[in-house]
Structure 1
Amino acid sequence: MRIGILGAGGMADALGTQWARAGHALMVSGRDPGRAAATAATLTAAARAADAPHGLPATAGTFEEAAAFGDVVVVAVLEEAADQVVRAAGPALRGKPLIDVTNAVGPGAYDVTRSVAERIAALTGGHVVKAFNLCHVDVWRMTPPVFDGRPLAVPLCGDDDHALGLARTLVTDLGCTPVHGGGLDRAKLLEATAAFMIGLWISGADAQAVLPPLPHSGPHPDEP
């Protein structure tokens, strides 16, 4: 798969490293060409060290070039820069599968009326899937993210079957389990979950302990 990444920071590096090891071709983009090139070099080194199936080097380009390059494009920039970045990426994003990993964090930053993912969809005309937004960047550096014997589950919110299928592949490439979280209209709930849980983690609470295990979560529709 060809993956264009809008952004050259921690999430681009962490997720991109895992996808490079899985054999995908990547192009990284950013406002700073030097940083984008350095991130691309890191991803190339990771692929070669892992003897990735295709051994393709990662490259660096502009936002517009990364948008045109990818079979899927990952929006991995600060939330406050997302609008400007996807506009800079241009018309290549229209109709394309997009994965939004951003979070609006900080007091008053989260908008309960509309998700960042829906905003990106409206600006680009792309098929957006919200994913990878519930964990700290260092979790995505784990190979794989497994806790107490359970692979990390990654919720996906989106409307387009093709885009969701590509997102599921990228989740499993990390050793994680994709979980259908509903349509893109539910992305605002996924973003709200991140905003709430991040606040608990920052306060030192074990946010994972907030919810009971599945057998204790009440009756389910598929049960007799």
Structure 2
Amino acid sequence: MRIGVLGTGNMADALATHWVRAGHQVTVGGRDARKAERLAGRIGGGVQPAGLRAAAEFGQEMVLAALPFEAGADVAGDLRATLEGKVLLDCSNPVGPGFQLLTQGGPSAAQRLAAAAPGSHVVKAFNLCHENVWRMRPPVFDGRPLAVPVCGDDATALARVRELVRDVGGEPVAGGGLERAGLLEATAALFISLWVGEGADAQAIAPPLTHAAGPL
């Protein structure tokens, strides 16, 4: 795939590195040209630096929005014509001070991107783990690949994101339509509060699948 990356932070770095290793063509774009150049050089593999618009134009099959929640909708709105018909992958977490969900009572971060760029096909994924997990080669725990929930409404977009999940070494899990992206974001807020705030093992709160649906 030709993938345009919007953002030059840690998530852009971690995910794009995997995708380049898997053979995809990647351009990373940011408002700061020097940061884009540094990230492209660090990833290597022919990655090109660019501005945000040029990166979105490059991403014929996929555009990753690796942007802070506060900036995502504004950037998508500015690029709405460029994003027309493209898959827009959102990995953001709208989590603020005190591990509060910043979208409480309103649209999810992913839905806000979809509203800002209504011609795009927004998919939510990769938001439940710290970027260091996405740097693992592969993210496997106790012999099991990391499960990655994916939410979206367009079948082609979902298929492409599932491919990228597998390229990272994870196992895609159907999370439902984009209206369920807010549940993923709320789950991230809960997990972060447990991990960081309480020092608790969030993985331990769920029973095995054999016991999840009630009496055996």
Matching residue of 1:69: 58
Q: Provide the residue aligned with 1:99 in structure 2.
A: 89
Residue of structure 2 equivalent to 1:11 = 11
Hey, what's the Cα distance between the residues in 1 that align with 2:145 and 2:80? 36
Is 1:121 matched with 2:111? no
> Per the alignment, in what secondary structure is the counterpart of residue 173 of structure 2?
strand
Task: Tell me the distance in 2 between the aligned counterparts of 1:66 and 1:120.
Answer: 17
The structure 2 residue matched to 1:151, chosen from 139, 145, 168, is: 145
Task: Please name the residue that 1:52 is paired with.
Answer: none
Structure 1 Cα separation of the partners of residues 134 and 201 of structure 2:
19
Instruction: Give the residue type in structure 1 aligned to 2:55.
Output: A
Residues 110 and 192, structure 1, Cα contact 8 Å, conserved in 2: no
Query: Would the aligned equivalents of 2:124 and 2:150 in 1 still touch at CA under 8 Å?
Result: yes
1:87 positional shift: 2.7
How many residue pairs get aligned? The number is 210
Contact 1:64 1:90 in 2 (8 A): no
* Corresponding position: 1:110 with 2:102: yes
In 1, Cα distance between equivalents of 2:165 and 2:63: 14
- Please tell me the residue identity of whatever aligns with 2:107: R
Q: Secondary structure at 2:148's aligned position in 1?
A: strand
SS at match of 1:172: helix
Q: 1:89 and 1:202 mapped to 2: Cα distance?
A: 35
The structural deviation recorded for 1:106 is: 1.6
Give SS of 2:189's match. Answer: helix
CA contact (8 A) 2:101 2:186 kept: no
- Specify the alignment match of 1:216 in structure 2: 211
1:173 partner letter: D
Residue 68 of structure 2, aligned match among 78, 88, 98: 78
Gapped runs of 5+ residues in structure 2?
Answer: none
Matched, 1:88 2:78: yes
Structure 1, unmatched stretches of 5+, are 48-56
Asked if 2 retains the 8 angstrom alpha-carbon contact of 1:65 and 1:89, the reply is: no
Q: Which amino acid aligns with 2:17?
A: T
Residues 186-218 of structure 1: CA distance to partner in whole angstroms, max 9, x if unpaired?
001111111111111112111110101111112
Letter in structure 2 aligned against 1:29? G
Residues 127 and 159 of structure 1 are in contact (CA less than 8 Å); yes or no, is this contact kept in structure 2?
Answer: yes
After superposing on structure 2, the runs of 4+ consecutive aligned residues of structure 1 that deviate more than 2 Å are 87-90, 107-110
Task: Note the C-alpha offset of 1:219.
Answer: 5.7
Q: Deviations over 1:28-60 (max 9, x none)?
A: 01111001011111221xx4xxxxxxxxx1101
